[in-house]
């Protein structure tokens, strides 16, 4: 993916994530069906998919995706625990996604 394409991709994800924060998880899910830059890592898509499914009220599906994210990046374990029944770690997973995207893009070039 060229730097220009990556910039467009980041903007599209930011827009979709903004929609997600406003309650529209479907827009972000649709954006995640498009090609993802390799530098984002294998955990990026399933992590965001999990957050979307959780927002849509399907914690069972969210947990499946979060476990997949954790498989690619064990630092996702707190997010997996956050989705476990009876556990809650509020604020642990929020808006770090966009910052992570920016960090990953600079460290994996």
Please state the pTM of the whole predicted model: 0.67
Domains held by the chain: number: 1
Concatenated DSSP letters for the chain?
--HHHHHHHHHHHHHHHHHHHTT-HHHHHHHTTS---GGG-TTHHHHHHHHHHHHTT-HHHHHHHHHHHHHH-GGGHHHHHHHSTT---TTSSSTHHHHHHHHHHHH--
- Residue 101: which CATH number? 1.25.40
Spatial distance between the Cα atoms of 95 and 53, rounded to a whole number of angstroms: 16
More confident residue, 87 or 63: 63
Q: Which pLDDT score is estimated for 30?
A: 93
Spatial distance between the Cα atoms of 99 and 109, rounded to a whole number of angstroms: 16
CA dihedral 96, 100, 102, 107 (to 10 degrees): 150
Q: 54-82, pLDDT tens digit by residue?
A: 888 888 888 888 888 888 877 766 666 66
The whole-chain average pLDDT of the chain stands at 76
10 has pLDDT over 60 = yes
Q: Which domain holds residue 54?
A: 3-107
pLDDT band at 6 (very low <50, low <70, confident <90, very high): confident
């Amino acid at each position: 993916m060229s730097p220009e394409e990556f910039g467009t991709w980041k903007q599209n994800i930011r827009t979709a994530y903004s929609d997600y924060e406003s309650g529209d998880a479907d827009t972000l899910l649709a954006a995640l069906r498009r090609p993802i830059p390799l530098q984002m890592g294998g955990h990026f898509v399933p992590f965001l998919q999990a957050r979307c499914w959780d927002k849509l009220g399907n914690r069972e599906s969210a947990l499946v995706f979060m476990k997949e994210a954790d498989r690619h990046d064990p630092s996702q374990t707190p997010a997996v625990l956050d989705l476990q029944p009876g556990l809650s770690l509020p604020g642990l997973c929020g808006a770090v996604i966009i910052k992570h995207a920016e960090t990953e893009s600079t460290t994996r070039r």
